[in-house]
Structure 1
Amino acid sequence: MRPTVHDVARAAGVGLATVDRVLNDRPGVRQATAERVKAAVDRLGFVRDASAAALARKRVDTLAFLIPNGPSDFMHRLEAEVRAAGQRLAGRRVNIDIRSVPPFDGEALAAALRRLDTGKVAGVALVATEAAAVRAELCRLNAAGVPVVTLVSDAPRFPRHRYVGIDNVAAGRTAASLIGQFLGGRAGRIVVVAGSMLVRDHVERRMGFDQVISGQYPRLQASVTLEGRDERAATRQALRECLEREGDIVGLYNIGAGLEGILDVLSALPAEARPVVVAHELNDVTRAALESGLIHAVINQDIGHEIRSAIRVLRAQIDGTPLVAGQETIRIEIYLRDNLP
């Protein structure tokens, strides 16, 4: 049988109130008594049931999720997963508070963080933007003991407890390997399309991409980067101008979520003039593009896994409970037309 607080109290020769004070680091217990309780906990292998403890204290933990709005289908689906998680957690003393922020806007993100009351918010998850104002707000949360996780895009130089998302450098390396192998030794230029090079996930993907292209495919050059802010019209215009200016492009890596504008341009080209294309995130648009042959591969991340993991990480930090490390690893998935689920 799993040991209970009653077993700990008996083994330590104290009352339940004393055990509760020690387990929750509350004052009013002599040092010697506290040590006796901790020794009993270790000896019995007692594991605290954080959910039961929160229920007993009538505590409700509010977890704030700051999600970029705008045209990105990926962010829309991310927010939908957060809402679904909130519904699943209803009645389990966890409240999910979703705050929308403009994409690629560090000052707006900092302002949203500034509005969080550290006395009411138990944990925070955000898609990070590396701006000085954001760092200042994360320092404020950290000083108040509020755990923070970064989602999708990390900010490792800022105070945060954990990053939840794929390895974006590895994702970029994977994209480069796929394009290089699809091209089969051909020479030529590759255009890289990003939402914004001000966000770390796009920078890291480009970094990994360049590492493989320059190191393993010397006949290819990834010398052109376009930024479309994940907006269809802006991406379409930038790519059209690029093709007119640069001429023959043999490969295209879409780092961000602006694929629709790219498809507008590609669908107008004759099949023999289209580049090899690798994009991110499996959704209705990328699925149709794979099936039609307009793009060749999709690098995907499990959004539902990311949100569930972020919640587990925050609750573990709040409750002081351990994590299963392997459960929190977000893996890179590769989809071709031949293995679509």
Structure 2
Amino acid sequence: MKPTVHDIAAHAGVSLATVDRVLNRRPGVRAVTRDKVEEAVIRLGYVRDTAAANLAKGHHYPLVFVLPRSDNPFFGALRRAVDDVAERGGGERVTVEIVDVPPFDARALATALDAIDPEAVCGVALVAVDAPSVAAAVARLKAMGLKVVTLVSDLAHSTRDHYAGIDNIAAGRTAASLIGRFAGERGGPVQVVMGSLSVRDHRDRLEGFASVLEAEYPALDLLPVIEGLDTAEIVERALGQALAETPGICAVYSLGAGNRGLIDALGGHDAERHIFTIAHELSPVTTKALESGLIDVVLHQDPGHEVRSAVRVLRAKVDGQPIIASQERIRLDIFLRDNLP
């Protein structure tokens, strides 16, 4: 029988992915490992069937998703979407490993990226913390031949291959337009609650929001931003204090997570008039608040679409194929209690 790539992998003591990298002259393989594979090719007398190799291009796609570990319902949904890909990945020749990191921790994220074995993986998707150390770690992965997609939150300066997420500046502008239309005439202070300035999606939402408020709704005054670290207890305490100390707050925009704390603070505040409130991401908590009227609008992104898009893009990039831009565009959904799914 003719020797196969499985025989080469067994003889050289490496993975099939590594054999594939060497045979296709792709980077990301140490010289000593490349020598082992090439020696096995010669010793076994392996002759490559070029037509078959082209037909089976990208026959296996080992991927790593680096995700923040938190009680944020959105990231829980994101993780379940990755698990779904992992469960059905065999039919699509995809294997998936999840690596957990603390949220908003650039050092931990960079360390996790540096620990990825380039010989065992062809693509990486990460929820980015926008920091030089993370951008540098992404650049190192790229230099070793891996394909990299940022997921949900992008990097300002990076060599990543693709971003799978919504247009966050547009999301912030949308929130400001809605608040302006519903609360702009009466005017008053507006409170923004964000997770962290260290992630670009939150900064972009704030930038879009502030630009529209300043340009189009001068009767609305943006208060100092609350940075709640997507933690319900911090959000409840900080927002409750702001509502108590600043009478007449007419609107709240929660552009991150910690929505349980947002709802507890709003529910515990004895307001003379309704506080128009916008939050992000549909969950059992925000759905209930929409139904009760405590929250007016939820802006939502589909975590399943984002994960599936990241996988499709990584596979295409590994194979050197173009992506379908319209298929990978992540839309922003706007939910009121009238159109809840």
Shared fold, TM over 0.5: yes
Q: Which structure 1 segments of 5+ residues have no match? A: 1-20, 28-46
Partner of 2:335: 335
Question: For residues 51 and 218 of structure 1, what CA distance do their matches in structure 2 show?
Answer: 61
Would the alpha carbon gap of residues 222 and 233 (structure 1) be closer, same or farther in structure 2, given more than 3 Å must change? same
Partner of 2:183: 183
* Cα contact 1:72–1:257 (8 A) shared by 2: yes
- Counterpart of 1:332, as a letter, is L
The DSSP-based 3-state class of the residue aligned with 1:128 is coil
Q: Does residue 288 of structure 2 align to residue 288 of structure 1?
A: yes
The DSSP-based 3-state class of the residue aligned with 2:92 is coil
Note the aligned Cα RMSD (angstroms). Answer: 2.1
- Counterpart of 1:338, as a letter, is D
Partner of 2:153: 153
Q: Which structure 2 segments of 5+ residues have no match? A: 1-19, 27-50
Question: For residues 208 and 123 of structure 2, what CA distance do their matches in structure 1 show?
Answer: 31
* Cα contact 1:266–1:274 (8 A) shared by 2: no
The DSSP-based 3-state class of the residue aligned with 2:141 is helix
The DSSP-based 3-state class of the residue aligned with 2:57 is helix
Alpha-carbon distance, 1:249 to partner: 0.7
Would the alpha carbon gap of residues 91 and 237 (structure 1) be closer, same or farther in structure 2, given more than 3 Å must change? same
Partner of 1:32: none
Alpha-carbon distance, 1:134 to partner: 1.1
The DSSP-based 3-state class of the residue aligned with 1:117 is coil
Question: For residues 106 and 48 of structure 1, what CA distance do their matches in structure 2 show?
Answer: 43
Partner of 1:99: 99
- Counterpart of 1:81, as a letter, is A
Would the alpha carbon gap of residues 48 and 124 (structure 1) be closer, same or farther in structure 2, given more than 3 Å must change? farther
Q: How does 1:1-341 map to 2 (within 5 A)?
A: 52-55=56-59, 60-270=60-270, 272-341=272-341
Would the alpha carbon gap of residues 273 and 71 (structure 1) be closer, same or farther in structure 2, given more than 3 Å must change? farther
- Counterpart of 1:129, as a letter, is V
The DSSP-based 3-state class of the residue aligned with 2:225 is strand
Question: For residues 50 and 206 of structure 1, what CA distance do their matches in structure 2 show?
Answer: 47
* Cα contact 2:192–2:253 (8 A) shared by 1: yes
Question: For residues 302 and 53 of structure 2, what CA distance do their matches in structure 1 show?
Answer: 29
Alpha-carbon distance, 1:228 to partner: 1.1
Alpha-carbon distance, 1:95 to partner: 0.8
* Cα contact 2:62–2:94 (8 A) shared by 1: yes
- Counterpart of 1:150, as a letter, is T
* Cα contact 1:301–1:331 (8 A) shared by 2: yes
Partner of 2:29: none
Question: For residues 220 and 248 of structure 1, what CA distance do their matches in structure 2 show?
Answer: 11
- Counterpart of 2:218, as a letter, is P
The DSSP-based 3-state class of the residue aligned with 1:90 is helix
What is the TM-score with the length of structure 1 in the denominator?
A: 0.83
- Counterpart of 2:205, as a letter, is R
The DSSP-based 3-state class of the residue aligned with 1:185 is coil
Question: For residues 48 and 161 of structure 1, what CA distance do their matches in structure 2 show?
Answer: 28
Question: For residues 75 and 146 of structure 2, what CA distance do their matches in structure 1 show?
Answer: 24
* Cα contact 1:189–1:221 (8 A) shared by 2: yes
Question: For residues 277 and 156 of structure 1, what CA distance do their matches in structure 2 show?
Answer: 29
* Cα contact 1:71–1:230 (8 A) shared by 2: no
The DSSP-based 3-state class of the residue aligned with 2:90 is coil
- Counterpart of 1:243, as a letter, is L
Question: For residues 306 and 271 of structure 2, what CA distance do their matches in structure 1 show?
Answer: 37
Alpha-carbon distance, 1:26 to partner: 5.9
Alpha-carbon distance, 1:332 to partner: 0.9
Would the alpha carbon gap of residues 74 and 208 (structure 1) be closer, same or farther in structure 2, given more than 3 Å must change? same
Would the alpha carbon gap of residues 50 and 272 (structure 1) be closer, same or farther in structure 2, given more than 3 Å must change? farther
Question: For residues 67 and 192 of structure 1, what CA distance do their matches in structure 2 show?
Answer: 25
- Counterpart of 2:311, as a letter, is I
Deviations 1:62-82 (A, max 9, x none): 110001011211111101100
Would the alpha carbon gap of residues 90 and 251 (structure 1) be closer, same or farther in structure 2, given more than 3 Å must change? same
* Cα contact 1:151–1:163 (8 A) shared by 2: yes
Q: What is the number of equivalent residue pairs in this alignment?
A: 296
Alpha-carbon distance, 1:92 to partner: 3.3
- Counterpart of 1:165, as a letter, is G
* Cα contact 1:114–1:137 (8 A) shared by 2: yes
Question: For residues 51 and 270 of structure 1, what CA distance do their matches in structure 2 show?
Answer: 67
- Counterpart of 2:57, as a letter, is A
- Counterpart of 2:268, as a letter, is A
- Which shifted more, 324-333 or 242-251? 242-251
